Amino acid sequence: MENPESSRVGTRLALVLIVPLLALAGGCGDNPAPGPAADSAPRSAPIPASATPAGPADQAWAHFQAVYSNPPQPPASWAEGPPDEDALRTFQLERGAAAVKVADVARDFYQAHPDDPRAVPARWHEMQLLDAAVKLGHTNALPRLLTLEKERLEDPSLTEDERFGVRMAGEQRAAELLFPQGEEVARRALEEAALRLAREFPGRSEPYQVLLNLAGGAAPERARELVTPLLNPELPEEVREGAQALLTKLDRVGKPLDLKFTAIDGREIDLSKMTGKVVLIDFWATWCGPCIAELPSLKETYEKLHPRGFEILGISFDQEKEALERLVAREKLRWPQYFDGAEGTESLGERFGIESIPTLWLVDKKGVLRHLDARNDLEAKVLALLAEE
């Protein structure tokens, strides 16, 4: 039976644990980089094109291509504004059910045509589709998926990239399914999984990148615990550079934040002149799905706490100012917005080392940066800062 609570897991955990290199869209990269080598392994490979269907195998493959290429589409009304949580959960379950059906078609293909060269990618696609279904709430597909993964890992012909892809997907999914027990439980599980993968695949940097991403969303003390070991000179250079960049960002916490800009509506913003206010700095973009999904919550918190001294400053990473202006007008966003893509202006995203969005910082009433990841329990964090003298 489907688990309604777990249907939220993919979206919620992706929003909390911004891990772009994993095979779940949970956040939006500012400058998206290619995924790990495992992402180019057969489990995610493009579906081979069929010539004009001739025999039964060609016809069966054409059928698979057709159903694979036509997943349920979100309602057109969502283009006018983000859905509420119930509507999103219902749509996730719908897409999960569709993924199971397409996985069945892939299985039917390789069982009926085991010697066809397309049987190999069909097996990988079956596993990938079931993984997506489980993340979307169809946990009844999990036993079948675990059996497929076990069989795949026992295959001696598997390449390292393929083996890593299977292991990474399994570890990520296991952590996500713990989310109903609490975000911290899921986060710690993913930390432990990354360390296991680092030991199991010592030549790869991806597990350390997972730790870096997790550290970026952790409390400062925990972030330092995770990041400091990644300065080890024996680790890949990109890992050490990422660790140093995050430590530099952590050094901002507990210090006054210097932020001045001209908003798209002409307002002159100077954070140093907003003492007495608790200020949320929202790094986002109109093209970022998770950013848009959070707008209803942000608007609700703003309307509720603005009279008590809560402010929001938006830093948009959009490339087209018009897109930002349209969405601000449509959503009736009342807080100032900075267009970070304007030529000849300072990139605040680069200055502050923002690597993925949405990223939410919280500044207290004295202008001191207090939180680098305010997305979780935002209202509680704001209320705590408002209560301070």
- What domains can you pick out in the chain, each with its CATH number? 6-244 (no CATH), 260-387 (3.40.30.10)
Q: What share of the chain is helix, strand, coil (3-state, %, to 5)?
A: 55, 10, 35
**Per-residue pLDDT at 84:** 83
Query: Is residue 357 a contact partner of residue 317, using CB atoms and an 8 Å limit?
Result: yes
**Per-residue pLDDT at 216:** 80
**pLDDT, tens only, 76-120:** 888 777 788 889 889 999 999 999 999 999 999 999 999 999 999
**Per-residue pLDDT at 48:** 59
Task: Tell me the angle at which helices 142-153 and 160-176 cross, rounded to the nearest 10 degrees.
Answer: 150
Q: How many CA atoms lie within 13 A of 229 on its CB side?
A: 10
Low-confidence spans in the chain with pLDDT less than 70: 1-53, 342-346
Alpha carbons 277 and 362: distance in angstroms, whole number: 11
**Per-residue pLDDT at 42:** 38
- DSSP annotation string for 30-76: SSPPP--GGGGSGGGPPPPPP-S--SHHHHHHHHHHHHHT-PPPPPG
Alpha carbons 188 and 206: distance in angstroms, whole number: 17
In 113-141, alpha helices (H)? 119-135
Alpha carbons 10 and 287: distance in angstroms, whole number: 19
**Per-residue pLDDT at 345:** 64
